[in-house]
């Protein structure tokens, strides 16, 4: 199972995430987001990663700008959170993580048809493209999400205290976390380490039950 730690804005936090075992480190390039980071500021952070893959998060951005930022920062994946259709996705030069909001327009059939390598399922909140830190109804969603044939990342309201439950319910490819890693609006190194410890222990238990 994989862990994506998102919303990084400092070298210290990104390196702590990687050192703790994160598989993906995410940067938010949507200007209206609280965790927005300028692409130029993300360049040295992404360039310092040795193992974790850099992911850029975008919302209905011009695909030419997405590709420019992906090249500039050295992104491994582009994560799209808006209304981007399949034609849009085919213009992107990097592998895609397509985000859906459960309770809005999510359907496993649409996710399976979308030209993306990974599918991310987040909570629905009207007027927000995601990143709310709120969980959706996991038990209710599990059966439908299980019909997605591609690797799935579960996001929304996940922290050290409930990541084991997420893995038990979904048996996902991975989880995506951000808000639970923060203290006073900034990434906390102890919280990053505590989350990854809880994640590793839960993942080991799930492997043991497989």
Q: DSSP of 93-157, one letter per residue? A: SS-EEEEEEETTT--HHHHHHSS-SEEEEEE-BTTB-S-------HHHHHHHHTT--S-EEEESS
Number of domains in the chain: 1
Other beta carbons less than 10 A from residue 181's beta carbon:
26
Active site residue 122: yes
Task: Catalytic residue, from 23, 62, 85, 122: name it.
Answer: 122
End-to-end CA distance of the chain: 12
For residue 4, pLDDT over 80 is answered with yes
How far CA 167 is from CA of 40, 110, 145, in Å, comes to 35, 23, 13
* pTM beyond 0.85: yes
Q: How confident is the model at residue 207 (pLDDT cuts 50, 70, 90)?
A: confident
Number of H helices, E strands in the chain: 8, 10
53 assigned to some structural domain: yes
Q: How confident is the model at residue 208 (pLDDT cuts 50, 70, 90)?
A: confident
For residue 132, pLDDT over 60 is answered with no
CATH of the domain at 91: 3.20.20.70
64 assigned to some structural domain: yes
Q: How confident is the model at residue 103 (pLDDT cuts 50, 70, 90)?
A: confident
Which whole number is the average pLDDT over 110-135? 77
205 assigned to some structural domain: no
Q: Confirm if 17 and 5 have CB atoms less than 8 A apart.
A: yes
Other beta carbons less than 10 A from residue 56's beta carbon:
28
Q: Which range of residues forms the domain containing residue 104?
A: 2-186
- pLDDT for the residue 125: 57
For residue 193, pLDDT over 80 is answered with yes
Task: Catalytic residue, from 6, 62, 137, 176: name it.
Answer: 6
Active site residue 176: no
Per the listing, tokens 């920062």 go with 73
- pLDDT for the residue 130: 47
Question: Mean pLDDT, the chain, as a whole number?
Answer: 93
Q: Phi and psi for 141 in degrees, rounded to 5?
A: -85, -20
204 assigned to some structural domain: no
């Amino acid at each position: 199972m994989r862990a994506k730690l998102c919303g990084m804005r400092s070298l210290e936090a990104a390196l702590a995430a990687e050192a703790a075992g994160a598989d993906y480190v995410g940067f938010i390039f949507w200007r209206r987001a609280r965790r927005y980071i300028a692409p130029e500021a993300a360049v040295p952070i992404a360039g310092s990663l040795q193992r974790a893959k850099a992911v850029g998060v975008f919302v209905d951005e011009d695909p030419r700008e997405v590709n420019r930022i992906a090249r500039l920062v050295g992104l491994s994946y582009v994560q799209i959170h808006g209304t981007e259709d399949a034609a849009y996705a085919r213009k992107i030069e990097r592998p895609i993580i397509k985000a859906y909001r459960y309770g809005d327009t999510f359907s496993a059939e649409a996710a399976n048809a979308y030209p993306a390598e990974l599918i991310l399922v987040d909570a629905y909140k009207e007027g927000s493209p995601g990143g709310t830190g709120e969980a959706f109804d996991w038990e209710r969603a599990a059966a439908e999400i299980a019909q997605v044939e591609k690797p799935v990342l579960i996001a929304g309201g996940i922290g050290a205290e409930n990541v084991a439950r997420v893995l038990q319910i979904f048996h996902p490819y991975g989880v995506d976390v951000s808000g639970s890693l923060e203290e006073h609006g900034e990434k906390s190194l102890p919280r990053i380490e505590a989350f990854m410890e809880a994640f590793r222990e839960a993942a080991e238990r799930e492997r043991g039950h497989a």
